[in-house]
Amino acid sequence: PTEARNVTVTGAGGQIGYALLFRIASGQLLGADVPIKLRLLEIPQGLNAAEGAALELHDGAFPLLQSVEVTDDATRAFDGVNVGLLVGSRPRGPGMERADLLEANGRIFGPQGRAINAGAADDVRVLVVGNPANTNALITAAHAPDVPAERFTAMTRLDHNRAVAQLAAHLAVPVTSIAGLTIWGNHSASQYPDVFHATVDGRPVIDLVGESWLAETFIPRVANRGSEIIRVRGASSVGSAASATLDHVFDWVNGTGSGWTSAAVASDGSYGVPAGLVSSFPVRSVGGAWRIVEGLEMGAFSRARVDASVAELVEEREAVRALGLIPD
């Protein structure tokens, strides 16, 4: 029988946690044959919600779910962790200054990085969902110097899935017809959804859509979809964010097959993205590790947009450095 994996979910008492936990327990994170031991990390005010979710997980009688432990102690939560889903964060509130936002998150992700460094399993994989996700992943990795930087990723899969769905709808084809799409940069409104290498049933997408549709409709639609969901639903994206979380980890562990997807990973300097920044790239998962898809040509339209989003990541990195949240 397959050995059980320790999966830690932070912010487990929150909205995404609630949408995520039952699907993890059903086998959608790692595969239908992998037993799971769940650890739910919350802050004291979130413990009741997490405890309630744990009771419901119990009631699900999930064959793969071996145990559920709820804690507010990061050291305990990350001891032996194989997969860490860092969902709990301090999102930007109304009128909140960027420095305050980054500082509040530094206080969350610094200690969590230290706990991962101290106790995680050798094969640990970390996905940061909580915003600002890319920079939170950077902070976490900076506090876990013994864990390879490539194990710390941030989620742009929701943006990727949104882009695939928008393109498929525009071209009136199934989502399975679309390949070769990329989200570049930051998981923020500056992100760049790139269709220049995308195909629809093998045909270049760029032969079927114009640059004005890209610039005026597609790119802003994808980049601002989160706000659209809030406006329509009256609450932020939760179900689709949970889905994308499962997609990211499932592909990371089980491979992407022939195509590629998007994930924010530590840059090795590819495509002019400064090394070490956690930026979204086209990626394949090979042998359980993300590999940046190299050698794609980038025209001026794409270059300007990638550069703008990467510049935002550089600014965020400088700001957290200035606050002492990562070493120089």
255 labelled binding-site residue: no
Our answer to whether residue 197 is catalytic in this structure is no
Smallest distance, Å, CB 147 to ligand NAI? Answer: 19
- Chain positions 32 to 61 lying near ligand NAI, rule: CB under 6 A, are 41-43, 45-46
Q: Quick one: which H or E segment has residue 159?
A: helix 157-171
Beta-bridge partner residues of 292: 283
88 lies in the binding site for ligand NAI (CB under 6 A): yes
Considering 160, 187, 197, 248, which one is annotated as catalytic? 187
Query: Min. distance of Cβ 160 from ligand NAI in angstroms?
Result: 10
Write a three-state SS string for 44-60. Answer: HHHHHHHHHHHHHHHHC
Nearer to ligand NAI, 200 or 325 (CB): 325
CB 118 within 8 A of CB 75: yes
Q: Residue 305 — φ and ψ, nearest 5°?
A: -75, -40
Smaller CB distance to ligand NAI: residue 56 or 211?
56
Contact string (CB under 6 A) for ligand NAI, positions 162-191, x = contact = -------------------------x----
The enclosing H or E element of 170 equals: helix 157-171
129 lies in the site for ligand NAI, by CB under 6 A: yes
CA 107 from centre of chain: 20
User: Does 144 participate in binding ligand NAI (rule CB under 6 A)?
Assistant: no
Rounded Cα gap, residues 81 and 38, in angstroms: 9
Is 16 annotated to bind ligand? yes
Of residues 129 and 149, the one with the C-beta less far from ligand NAI: 129
Q: Count the neighbouring beta carbons within 10 Å of the beta carbon of residue 39.
A: 22
Nearest distance from C-beta of residue 208 to ligand NAI, angstroms: 27
Judged by CB under 6 A, does residue 236 bind ligand NAI? Answer: yes
| Residue of 223, 81, 221 lying closest to 151 (CA atoms) | 81
Site track 105-124 with ligand NAI (rule: CB under 6 A), x = hit = ---x----------------
Q: Is 131 in the site for ligand NAI (CB under 6 A)?
A: yes
**C-alpha distance from residue 22 to each of 14, 17, 139, 191, 193 (Å):** 13, 9, 29, 30, 30
Residue 155 contacts ligand NAI per CB under 6 A: yes
CA distances for 226 relative to 13, 170, 221, 223, 230, angstroms: 21, 19, 9, 8, 6
Contacts of residue 142, Cβ cutoff 8 Å, sequence gap at least 6: 110, 113, 325, 326, 327
**Residue 228 and residue 159: Cα distance in Å, rounded?**
13
- If one asks whether residue 312 binds ligand NAI (CB under 6 A), the answer comes out as no
> In whole angstroms, how close is the CB of 9 to ligand NAI at the nearest point?
9
Asked if 270 touches ligand NAI (CB under 6 A), the answer is no
Rule CB under 6 A: is residue 219 a binding residue for ligand NAI?
A: no
Please report where in the chains the tokens 């802003």 appear, as a residue: 220
Smallest gap from Cβ 90 to ligand NAI, in A, equals 6
Q: What is the Cα–Cα distance from 239 to 114, expressed in whole angstroms?
A: 30
Known binding-site positions: 11-17, 92, 98, 105, 112, 129-131, 162
Known binding-site positions for substrate: 92, 98, 131, 162
Catalytic residues: 187
- Using CB under 6 A, list all residues that contact ligand NAI: 10-11, 13-17, 41-43, 45-46, 87-89, 91, 108, 129-131, 133, 155, 158, 187, 236-238, 241
